[in-house]
Amino acid sequence: MTMITKSLQIAAVIILLSTALLSQPDGFWEGNITRQGKEWRVNVNIEDGAATVDFVDLDVIDVAFPLLADGNKIRLEKPQPDGRPPIIFDGEAVGDTFAGSWSGLGVDGSFSLIKAEKKSIAFREEEVEFQNGDVRLSGTLLLPKGEGKFPAVIITHGSSPNERTTYRSWARHFANNGIAALIYDKRGSGRSTSNTRAASMEDLADDAIAGLNYLKTRGDIDAKKIGVAGHSQGGWIAPLSAARSKDVAFIIASAAAGVTPAEQSIYHRAGVMRSQGMTEAEIEKATKLREKLYDLNRKILKNDGRYQQMRSEVSQELIANSNERWFGPAELPPQLAGDLPPLGALRLLFFDPVPIWEKLKIPAFVAWGGQDIVVPVAKSRRIIEQAQSKARNKHLTIKVFPNADHSNNIVPANGEWDFPRVNTDMDRTMVEWTRKTTGHI
């Protein structure tokens, strides 16, 4: 290869790269996805070759999407976990309009967006790290604009191995209303170390407390007005963190179960099986087998010598029922793993929240969706109210939002199809309560 030929090839590559960079369609568009006459608000932001999407009605913000652009043709495609089809925007940007076809959530539709001025945000962000013993937790602190000292809330996690982005929308609501919010990758997820599977409820509460201890070192945070918020599993963690640290000033517990995770799991799975058309007899069979599995786990936790015999019996029963119609929806293991569950996971399974609620005396905001099939709402409310009465806590606020589900999304009336939509009343009420509780009004 001659030097001239090589130089021409390099020049061609540079021209191609320059053309590709110039064709990146930077801009901010807002509008709707449409299907069956239903509209779903969405924003798309493309900047420096990177794309993010806001699903406004779902209150899911700043979702990163891989971007493929060719001239005015733009394709955003977000892979989904568990083998689900990707979410795809496939369209053209012509003038101020970006429109085309959309698919996601198992349905197809169209979208039409108009270029607009991107709204400024009322907060700033910092990447932070803090330690709980040997565990390094990586997070993002959202701070209101202006001078502190700000009240603050640490947002802990549900049961999934979530990263900080799961609770970014919650954090934005707080930060936009003058309250700092710390979100972080759950231990074993994202850039945080350790292992979620082996963690006990106490470990997870101590992670939140480690975040609180970090916030106390900052001059822009009011150390006497730091609370802990949590959803689902976080509804156990938030009050537990207050029991383990006198520095927790208030708690927020969304979709909190007043029963053990084991009992909540049985209730949840029965509700899911019912929604999938399983008969009550099939649900009862699955429930009894799950109860046996949990009884085995309880014996392992207590180091009861009888667990080995019972383990063999439960294993045989799982195998014997693995081909039954109800077995898949029951989400039972077809066979037991060779090793025993970690002790931390077993302790978490049988964590009893009642003694914690019986001693909690700080301001507490507890909320449920009335259509929740994951948590026994009526029973949990009764248990928590009774426990708080025993504690003589005069600072308890309870809310039930009748049309919301476990994820705080609105359940459509009469079973009609609709896009998922967040219950905005919950977010507004939660933030207003926090502002009032911290005196930040």
Residue whose token pair is 């039409």: 112
Mean of per-residue pLDDT scores for the chain: 93
Q: pLDDT > 90: what percent of the chain?
A: 85
CB 62 within 8 A of CB 68: no
Instruction: For residues 422 and 435, give the distance between their C-alpha atoms in angstroms, rounded to a whole number.
Output: 21
Q: What is the signed CA dihedral for 329, 330, 334, 339, rounded to 10 degrees?
A: 130
- pTM value is 0.89
Query: CA torsion 308→310→316→322, rounded to 10°?
Result: -120
Burial group, residue 32, by CB count within 10 angstroms (0-12, 13-18, 19+): buried
Write down the pLDDT at residue 122. 87
Higher pLDDT, 279 or 336: 279
Taking 50 as the threshold, does the pLDDT of residue 311 lie above it? Answer: yes
User: Tokens 């009862």 sit at which residue?
Assistant: 284
Give the model's confidence band at 17: pLDDT under 50 very low, under 70 low, under 90 confident, else very high. very low
Nearest to 398 by CA among 415, 381, 383: 381
**What band does 89 get if pLDDT is binned at 50, 70 and 90?**
very high
pLDDT, residue 5, reads: 44
Residue 325's pLDDT is 97
Yes or no: say if 28 and 114 are a contact pair by the CB < 8 Å rule: no
Q: What is the pLDDT of residue 156?
A: 97
Please, which residues have CB within 8 angstroms of residue 134's CB and are 6 or more apart in sequence?
193, 194
The pLDDT of residue 387 is above 80:
yes
Assigned token pair, 19: 């053309």
Q: The tokens of 35 are what?
A: 């299907």
Query: CB-based contacts of 287: which residues, under 8 Å, 6+ apart?
Result: 266, 269, 270
Query: Per residue in 155-212, pLDDT tens?
Result: 999 998 888 989 999 999 999 999 999 999 999 999 999 988 889 999 999 999 999 9
pLDDT over threshold 50, residue 6: no
Coil vs helix vs strand at 230: strand
The whole-angstrom separation of Cα 113 and Cα 28 is 9
Flag whether pLDDT at 348 surpasses 70. Answer: yes
> Residue 276 pLDDT more than 50?
yes
In this predicted structure, the answer to whether residue 14 has a pLDDT above a threshold of 60 is: no
Overall residue count recorded for the chain in this entry: 441
| Angle of CA points 48, 78, 191, to nearest 5° | 75
- pLDDT per residue over 171-180, tens digit each? 999 999 999 9
Residues 331, 270, 85, 20, Cα dihedral to 10°: -100
Task: Return d(Cα 326, Cα 283) in angstroms, integer.
Answer: 7
β-partners of residue 33 are 40, 111
pLDDT number for residue 19: 41
* Nearest-angstrom CA–CA distance, 192 and 37: 43
What pairing do the DSSP bridges indicate for beta strands 50-55 and 60-65?
antiparallel
pLDDT at position 337 is 81
* Maximum pairwise Cα distance, the chain: 88
**Residue type for position 154:** I
What domains, with CATH codes, occur in the chain?
25-115 (2.40.128), 123-260+351-437 (3.40.50.1820), 262-349 (no CATH)
CB 261 within 8 A of CB 374: no
Cβ contacts of 255 within 8 Å, gap of 6 or more: 231, 232, 235, 367, 368, 369, 372, 374, 375, 406, 408
114 pLDDT higher than 80: yes
Q: What is the pLDDT of residue 13?
A: 42
C-beta contacts of 193-197 below 8 A and 24+ residues apart: 193/134, 193/135, 193/136, 193/137, 194/134, 194/135, 196/161, 197/342, 197/345
pLDDT class of 23 with cuts at 50, 70, 90: low
**DSSP at 96:** T
Amino acid 27 reads: G
CB 173 within 8 A of CB 431: yes
> At residue 433, does pLDDT exceed 70?
yes
Mean pLDDT value of segment 421-434: 97
Share of the chain above pLDDT 70, in %: 94
Q: Indicate the pLDDT class of residue 7, thresholds 50, 70 and 90.
A: very low
Q: Pairing between strand 87-94 and 73-78?
A: antiparallel
pLDDT band for position 148 (cuts 50, 70, 90): confident
Task: Give the pLDDT score at 12.
Answer: 44
What's the pLDDT tens digit per position in 399-413?
Answer: 999 999 999 999 998
Strands in 60-65's sheet, in edge-to-edge order, are 60-65, 50-55, 38-47, 27-35, 107-115, 97-104, 87-94, 73-78, 67-70
Q: What local confidence, expressed as pLDDT, does residue 24 receive?
A: 60
